[in-house]
A and B are shown apart, each in its own frame.
Chain A
Amino acid sequence: MLGIVLDLVIIASLIALAIQVVSGASLFRGIIHFIVMGLTLALAWARLGAPDLAMAEAAIGAGVTGALMMVAYRRLVEITPDHNPSRTGSRSRLALPIAVGAGGLVGLLGLGATLSDPEPGLAGLAVLEALQDEALGNPITGVLLLYRGLDTLLEIAVLLTAFLAAVAVTRREDLDYSITTRDPHTPLVGALLAIIVPLTVLVSVHLLKAGSHDPGGAFQAGAVLAACGVLLVLTSRVSASSQSRPLIGLGIVAGLISFSLIGLAAMLRGEPPMALPGMWAVYFIETAMMLSIALTLVLLFAGTESLRRNQHG
């Protein structure tokens, strides 16, 4: 009973927040409401029993997108200081009926889905059965790497493509000065970094390792590591550079290359492509993917193709 009340409160706040995100009076309000919506969404995933998604929402929402929007907002204010970034323009009269109609349709579909098919799909059951024999205790990691290896590989390739496209269109000199926080050299920032940076690295490795038997895995761990990088960029410990570095280039493609090579090597042994030789391969690929995902997200955040370390006295 209380559970249903809880769910209804979450649903109602999500809808109210979503309305504020798209139709709030100012851009900044929209950003804050979006951040709060991310928190509520994590609670919704938790209630649905999907800790993997809650984890991804927490890492991406709290670590990367919120800061990205804040920095973009600041940039916007700097470009046009006189312009009040409130939303102007009239709203179409059709907006409300369309929104209500779309919401009703989604509700109807959800209702139909919950009423019609209480049995889990046969394919899902077969996969769960087969995964019992593997050493991977977390079915999500198992499906991502053992059954959907090609899809996961293509996801990494999509991330790389997005990065290349972003590098092709960014002008770095515009971004550099507006991305850092105001006083990056106050002692408080240094103390914060001394605590947070080792902790994020530790937690991302923990999530990566947990991914083989519990919720977690390369994507969540990569997002946490990326948040650590974003923190370093924001505090100008690391900043954009146009000089390309072989180590960074290698890090960006590490996930794609190691996954492809290990997947193709299976064909030499006469097995189907993307068959993994054992648990060591799972851990190796997951680690390489984590590094690539983290590095790509940080570079996308900084809007640059390479990074350099700043010296601080």
Chain B
Amino acid sequence: MIDVALPAIVLFLLLNLVAGMIRVYRGPTLADRMLAALLFSTTTVASLLILAEWMAIPALRNVALLFVMLASILSLAFTGLPDRHDDEAGDS
């Protein structure tokens, strides 16, 4: 039972990630894309934790820990960007 449930949960999380990619792809503002990317980081952490249990590789929990710790760096680097829309041609 648990051997089916764990991969099923990871698959569900991955499909969430794929759905979120639509927001990254379509934008329209820089902040939308950035927020979606940060959300992915959370989803990846959840997937890694479940993979660690399912595949019996405890070291994957350390990887998840790193992602949690380092996610803030990206947002800090992002907040220095000038306010402007990502209005490139061929969008939407």
Q: Interface code B1-41, partner A: CB below 8 Å = 1, 0 otherwise?
A: 00010011011001101100100110100100110110011
In angstroms, Cα B41 to Cα A224, docked, is 17
- Does A302 belong to the interface (CB within 8 Å)? no
A51 near B57 with CB under 8 A, answer yes
A240 CB contacts on chain B under 8 angstroms: none
B34 CB contacts on chain A under 8 angstroms: 32
In angstroms, Cα B78 to Cα A180, docked, is 10
Determine which residue in B34, B65, B66, B88 has the highest number of CB atoms from chain A within 10 A of its CB, and name it.
Answer: B66
Contact residue among A51, A55, A70, A200 (Cβ-Cβ distance under 8 Å from B77) = A70
A62 CB contacts on chain B under 8 angstroms: 41, 66-67, 70-71, 73-74
Contact residue among B44, B70, B91 (Cβ-Cβ distance under 8 Å from A227) = B70
In angstroms, Cα B17 to Cα A103, docked, is 24
B44 near A66 with CB under 8 A, answer no
A86 near B69 with CB under 8 A, answer no
In angstroms, Cα B75 to Cα A189, docked, is 11
A46 near B66 with CB under 8 A, answer no
User: In the complex, what's the smallest C-beta–C-beta distance from A46 to chain B, in angstroms?
Assistant: 5
B77 near A32 with CB under 8 A, answer no
A59 near B66 with CB under 8 A, answer yes
Q: Interface code A92-122, partner B: CB below 8 Å = 1, 0 otherwise?
A: 0000000000000000000000000000000
Name B's interface SS.
helix
Determine which residue in A55, A58, A210, A230 has the highest number of CB atoms from chain B within 10 A of its CB, and name it.
Answer: A58
User: In the complex, what's the smallest C-beta–C-beta distance from B61 to chain A, in angstroms?
Assistant: 9
State which residues 1-57 of A face B: CB under 8 Å: 2-3, 5-6, 9-10, 13, 16-17, 20, 25-26, 28-29, 32-33, 35-36, 39-40, 42-43, 46-47, 49, 51-52, 54-55
B48 near A207 with CB under 8 A, answer no
B80 near A43 with CB under 8 A, answer no
In angstroms, Cα B18 to Cα A43, docked, is 14
User: In the complex, what's the smallest C-beta–C-beta distance from A300 to chain B, in angstroms?
Assistant: 15
A33 CB contacts on chain B under 8 angstroms: 24
In angstroms, Cα B76 to Cα A182, docked, is 8
- Does A196 belong to the interface (CB within 8 Å)? yes
Residues of B within 8 A of A (CB): 4, 7-8, 10-11, 14-15, 17-18, 21, 24-25, 27, 30, 33-34, 36-37, 40-41, 44, 47-48, 51-52, 55, 57-60, 62-63, 65-67, 69-74, 76-82, 86-91
30 A-B Cβ contacts within 8 A? A2-B4, A3-B7, A13-B21, A25-B91, A28-B33, A32-B24, A36-B24, A39-B67, A46-B48, A46-B63, A49-B55, A52-B59, A54-B48, A58-B70, A59-B70, A62-B41, A62-B70, A62-B71, A63-B66, A66-B77, A67-B76, A74-B81, A182-B79, A203-B65, A203-B69, A215-B59, A224-B69, A227-B73, A231-B73, A234-B77
6 A-B pairs with the lowest CB-CB distances in the bound complex, closest first: A51-B59, A2-B7, A70-B77, A67-B77, A215-B59, A62-B70
